Amino acid sequence: MISGDGTGKSMFLEIHKLIKIMIAERELKFVDTLFYPSEVWLDAIKHLNFVFDLSEESLDYIRMHTGFITGVAWFQHAHQPYRQWNSERLKNELPLIQRYEELTNGLPEKYAIEEPCNKSAINNLGVRYNNKLISNDVLRYQRCITNLYNSNVFEHLENEISHPVTVEIGAGYGGVAHQIASAILNKGTYIIVDLPEILFWSINFIRINNPDKKLWIYDAESFDLDEFKRSYKNYDYIFIPNYMSEILKVLESVDLYVNLLSFQEMSQQQVAFYLDLIQRNLNGVFYSENFSKHWMNTELTSKLHHLYEKCFVMHPRPEQYSSIECSNDPQELKTVWNLFPFIMCLNGQQNTVFKQVPLHTPYGIIG
């Protein structure tokens, strides 16, 4: 367990140690199993492991390196003259800000998100607008927040659930985890399941931007399942390596499952495993935003919405995306990277958790 102010050499070394132990445990026990990284991710983590060599001081700037995960470089806006404009009216002419205004129109202020900014250099990531730092990644996370708010999911979590439990499978650097956990009145427990190498990113991003939160990180040397079952609600953030994801079966219920740009990069068997896991304890909604099928991923043989349909009541219905269906043909560049947001509840479960309203997508409102 890690808690407190999230700083100090001992914490820096402890996180390194725990992640290295996770990687060693995986290589010893889980090679050639369901829990070994897909080919897509085996290739990716080779280019992401440089982060282990960063100093403690450099890790404070981890957000400047996350473009290697998201594909959005930190310098996209850094040297643009509009960053120095003093007029909010002029900034409102920027496509970045126009899209942000569309996504936040009518939202309570606390749901209009921004980049957490622990260092002045982070300002290079985007544009200051109405005292908020807006970046391209913020737009993607704002879409998720807006869809969950408009669908009444947050109202349910805040007013009906005393201690919401959220599980995100494949959280990347932890960007949307920080935003969702902050949005629902800073209460509840947010659990991240990911490859150990990527957990290193999200642990550091979360601890840097949430220094007062209690963090629990899986430790192979001391883990006790019964103790975890008794105490998991005592923590704000929990970090579990993917090969230990079966311990989620002990959770009484999960109010919100989240998967953004992750299932699309797994094998067919891995996606099936997680969908089975979700069905075991989902007592709320599952929010997914993925490509229909990543064209480089040969280990995923079905389009994701075909797998979802077997388990969940989906909104929007997949056919409502038919005019922009991803063909999975890399020659058709206009459609190959289309993203498809869905809000879902279990088949046979009476939907009292979310309202079926049109969802914001990267190409307009659908549903």
Task: Encode pLDDT of 98-142 as tens digits.
Answer: 999 999 999 999 999 999 999 999 999 999 999 999 999 999 999
Q: Is residue 273 part of a domain?
A: yes
pLDDT at position 89 = 92
Whether residue 335 is predicted with pLDDT greater than 60 in this model: the reply is no
pLDDT (average), residues 317-328: 68
CA 205 to chain CA mean position, Å: 12
Taking only the tens place, the pLDDT of each residue in 223-234 is 999 999 999 999
pLDDT at position 1 = 60
pLDDT at position 353 = 81
Taking only the tens place, the pLDDT of each residue in 51-67 is 999 999 999 999 999 99
Whether residue 7 is predicted with pLDDT greater than 70 in this model: the reply is no
> Does residue 312 or residue 319 have the better pLDDT?
312
Query: What's the mean per-residue pLDDT of the chain?
Result: 91
Report pTM. Answer: 0.94
> Does residue 339 or residue 309 have the better pLDDT?
309
Whether residue 200 is predicted with pLDDT greater than 60 in this model: the reply is yes
Q: Is residue 115 part of a domain?
A: no
pLDDT at position 124 = 95
Taking only the tens place, the pLDDT of each residue in 9-43 is 678 899 999 999 999 999 999 999 999 999 999 99
pLDDT at position 34 = 95
Q: Is residue 53 part of a domain?
A: no
Taking only the tens place, the pLDDT of each residue in 35-44 is 999 999 999 9
pLDDT at position 332 = 53
pLDDT at position 247 = 96
Q: Is residue 221 part of a domain?
A: yes
pLDDT (average), residues 144-173: 96
HEC sequence for the chain: CECCCCCCHHHHHHHHHHHHHHHHHHHHHCCCCCCCCCHHHHHHHHCCHHHHHCCHHHHCCHHHHCHHHHCCCHHHCCCCHHHHCCCHHHHCCCHHHHHHHHHHCCCCHHHCCCCCCCCHHHHHHCEEECCEEECHHHHHHHHHHHHHHHCCHHHHHHHCCCCCEEEEECCCCCHHHHHHHHHCCCCCEEEEEECHHHHHHHHHHHHHHCCCCCEEECCCCCCCHHHHHHHHHHCCEEEEEHHHHHHHHHCCCEEEEEEECCHHHCCHHHHHHHHHHHHHHEEEEEEEEEECCCCCCCCCCCCHHHHHHCCEEEECCHHHHHHHCCCCCCCCCCCCCCEEEEEEEECCCCCCCCCCCCEEECCEEEC
pLDDT at position 4 = 46
Q: Is residue 332 part of a domain?
A: yes
Q: Is residue 155 part of a domain?
A: yes
> Does residue 331 or residue 220 have the better pLDDT?
220
Q: Is residue 257 part of a domain?
A: yes
pLDDT at position 352 = 77
pLDDT (average), residues 142-152: 96
Boundaries of domain holding 186:
141-366
pLDDT at position 340 = 87
CATH number, domain with residue 333? 3.40.50.150
pLDDT at position 333 = 47
Q: Is residue 135 part of a domain?
A: no
Whether residue 197 is predicted with pLDDT greater than 60 in this model: the reply is yes
pLDDT band at residue 360, thresholds of 50, 70 and 90?
very high
Domain count along the chain: 1
